[in-house]
């Protein structure tokens, strides 16, 4: 599915062009999706209006229970158009609670894997420490559920996944990306403003994608599956990732490999992005080929 051929281009339905609610519905089986804490529950952020920012009725996170290929699942989708997908107190707690409830349902006899659609710049700066705490709760809830059921992360684009939420992405059992998607701890503009344009030129899109893009992240084993921006391709990849069940060892626990990866790179003379996969493979750092 990664090769872009004309027929596939013409037939496909873009996933990137969907909003968060449409994305969550598109992944679940037809007619099975049921939204929790939806817009009419009006659980919006109490911190935005006092700062002169218009809130959104769902605080930018959509929680959808339903069936995935016939079995129960929960999908949590971040809306990238609202405040850059920033995670605040309410949106973060919605995600963390959905994961904890999936763990509770699993323990009670209804296995409930989770799918996280992560288009986010990380913590919403207007909510500062509350946002940081919420991201920590999300990470902790991922750890709770992934011991019982797969937690599948999807970064489809076009925003990408940065900041604290990139840590959440790295904790996922499996990570699916498109070529348009990006994944990194510090966003390009943060690096440029902190370290200067000599260190990183945030207007250089080929540079950004050569480092943070889906192809590079999958090629270097930091993500698992590269898919075409297509609703059917995404849904198939998500179903496959859930069906694959629990890995022998979670990526974030493969400390030896991650340490080898760090040791194989000299920060004073970093390799070309295209050479990184080879450098890491020689160092025995790359993932187990999943």
Partner 1 sequence: MQTLTYEFPASRPAARRTHVGVVGSGDLEVLMTPADGTARVRVRTSVDGFDTVWRTVLERFFARNPVAADFELNDFGATPGVVVLRLRQAIESGSSQGGTEGAA
Among 73, 79, 160, 162, the residue binding partner 1 under the rule CB under 8 A is 79
Angle at 188 between CA 182 and CA 194, to 5 degrees: 150
CB of 120 vs partner 1, minimal distance in Å: 14
Decide: is 30 part of the binding site for partner 1 (CB under 8 A). no
Are 154 and 231 in contact by the 8 Å Cβ rule? The answer is no
Minimum Å distance from CB 179 to partner 1? 23
Helical ranges in 108-213 per DSSP H: 128-146, 164-171, 188-195, 205-212
Quote the CA–CA distance of 101 and 106 in Å, as a whole number: 8
Least distance (Å) from partner 1 to the CB of residue 245? 32
Which one of residues 1, 12, 16, 21 is an interface residue with partner 1 (CB under 8 A)? 21
Range in contact with partner 1 (rule: CB under 8 A) among 48-56, 98-106, 136-144, 197-205: 48-56
Site track 80-119 with partner 1 (rule: CB under 8 A), x = hit:
-xxx------------------------------------
- One residue of 26, 47, 55, 119 binding partner 1 per CB under 8 A: 55
Q: By CB under 8 A, is residue 32 in contact with partner 1?
A: no
3-state secondary structure 163-184: CHHHHHHHHCCEEEEECCCEEC
Q: Among 54, 108, 255, 268, which residue sits at the site for partner 1 (rule: CB under 8 A)?
A: 54
Q: Which is nearer to partner 1, 44 or 230 (CB)?
A: 44
Mark the segment that binds partner 1 (CB under 8 A) among 51-59, 107-115, 176-184, 217-225: 51-59
Helix (H) or strand (E) holding 236: helix 231-243
Yes or no: say if 184 and 147 are a contact pair by the CB < 8 Å rule: no
Quote the least distance from Cβ 85 to partner 1, whole Å: 10
Among the listed residues 3, 5, 40, 206, the single contact to partner 1 using CB under 8 A: 40
- Which of 37, 253, 257 lies closest to 146 in space, CA to CA? 253
**Burial class of residue 116 (count of CB atoms within 10 Å of its CB; 0-12, 13-18, 19+):** buried
Q: With CB under 8 A, what is the number of residues at the site for partner 1?
A: 20
Cα 210 to Cα 2, 40, 124, 190, 233, distances in angstroms = 16, 42, 26, 17, 23
- Binding status of residue 39 toward partner 1 by CB under 8 A: yes
What is the C-alpha to C-alpha distance for residues 111 and 279, in angstroms, rounded to an integer? 39
Among 49, 249, 263, 278, binds partner 1 (CB under 8 A): 49
Applying CB under 8 A, the residues found at the interface with partner 1 are 19-22, 35, 38-40, 49, 52-57, 60, 79, 81-83
């Amino acid at each position: 599915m990664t090769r872009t051929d004309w027929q596939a281009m013409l037939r496909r339905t873009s996933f990137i062009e969907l909003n968060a609610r449409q994305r969550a519905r598109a992944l679940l089986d037809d007619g099975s999706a049921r939204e929790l804490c939806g817009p009419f529950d009006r659980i919006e952020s109490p911190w935005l209006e006092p700062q002169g920012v218009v809130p959104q009725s769902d605080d930018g996170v959509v929680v959808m229970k339903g069936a995935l290929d016939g079995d129960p699942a929960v999908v949590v989708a971040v809306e990238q158009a609202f405040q850059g997908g920033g995670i605040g107190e309410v949106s973060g707690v919605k995600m963390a609670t959905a994961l904890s409830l999936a763990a509770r349902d699993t323990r009670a006899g209804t296995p409930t894997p989770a799918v996280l659609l992560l288009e986010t710049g990380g913590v919403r700066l207007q909510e500062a420490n509350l946002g940081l705490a919420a991201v920590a709760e999300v990470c902790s809830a991922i750890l709770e559920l992934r011991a019982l059921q797969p937690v599948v992360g999807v970064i489809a684009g076009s925003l990408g996944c940065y900041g604290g939420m990139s840590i959440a992405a790295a904790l996922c059992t499996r990570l699916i990306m498109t070529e348009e998607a990006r994944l990194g701890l510090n966003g390009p503009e943060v690096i440029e403003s902190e370290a200067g344009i000599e260190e990183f030129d945030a207007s250089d899109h080929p540079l950004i994608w050569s480092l943070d893009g889906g192809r590079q992240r999958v090629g270097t084993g930091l993500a698992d599956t590269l898919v075409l921006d297509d609703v059917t391709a995404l849904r198939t990849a998500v179903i496959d990732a859930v069906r694959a069940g629990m890995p022998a060892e979670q990526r974030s626990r493969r400390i030896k490999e991650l340490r080898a990866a760090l040791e194989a790179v000299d920060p004073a003379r970093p390799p070309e992005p295209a050479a990184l996969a080879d450098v890491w493979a020689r160092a025995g750092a790359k993932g187990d080929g999943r």
